[in-house]
């Protein structure tokens, strides 16, 4: 009887576990990082968005913004586009908050100042800045 209960509990646990394929590629960043995701072809706009990110790397790092590209036909890019509901034929950049929700999307490259302004206005970022302020 005891063995039967243990076996049943293990089987129920396995059934209740989410399948790895059900997990979003964004889940690993949730509550740790904000994401800047570039989708579409690897065109001039995508390259410009990467240059903007690279030029403002210190500010991006301070705000825990990670850049992800979904500009090719790799499985990882397809999964990212699917998670965002992006078609991938035209340039689009998404800002995803630490909570996993899309905070902003644009059809044109976004300046570092505009990104920082949006992120710094987020309640979670406001809290981070208060905690990091010297006393």
Block means of pLDDT (10 residues each) for the chain, 135 residues, are 52 48 86 98 98 98 98 96 95 97 97 98 93 81
CA nearest to 48, candidates 59, 61, 36: 36
Domains of the chain: 26-132 (3.40.30.10)
- Are 98 and 126 in contact by the 8 Å Cβ rule? The answer is no
Provide CB contacts within 8 A for 38, sequence distance 6+. 46, 49, 50, 67, 68, 69, 70, 71, 91, 92, 93
pLDDT of residue 111: 98
CA atoms of 34 and 67, how far apart (whole Å): 9
pLDDT of residue 22: 63
pLDDT of residue 134: 77
CA atoms of 94 and 36, how far apart (whole Å): 6
pLDDT of residue 56: 98
pLDDT of residue 18: 47
């Amino acid at each position: 009887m005891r063995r039967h209960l243990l076996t049943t509990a293990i089987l129920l646990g396995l059934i209740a576990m989410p399948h790895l394929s059900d997990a979003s590629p964004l889940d690993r960043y949730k509550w740790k990082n904000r994401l800047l995701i570039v989708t579409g072809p690897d065109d001039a706009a995508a390259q410009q968005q990467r240059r903007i990110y690279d030029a403002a790397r210190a500010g991006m790092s301070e705000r825990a913004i990670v850049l992800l590209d979904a500009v090719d036909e790799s499985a990882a890019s397809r999964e990212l586009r699917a998670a965002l509901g992006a078609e991938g034929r035209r340039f689009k950049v998404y800002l995803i908050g630490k909570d996993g929700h899309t905070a902003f999307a644009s059809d044109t490259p976004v300046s570092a100042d505009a990104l920082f302004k949006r992120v710094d206005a987020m309640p979670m970022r406001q809290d981070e800045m208060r905690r990091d302020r010297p006393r």
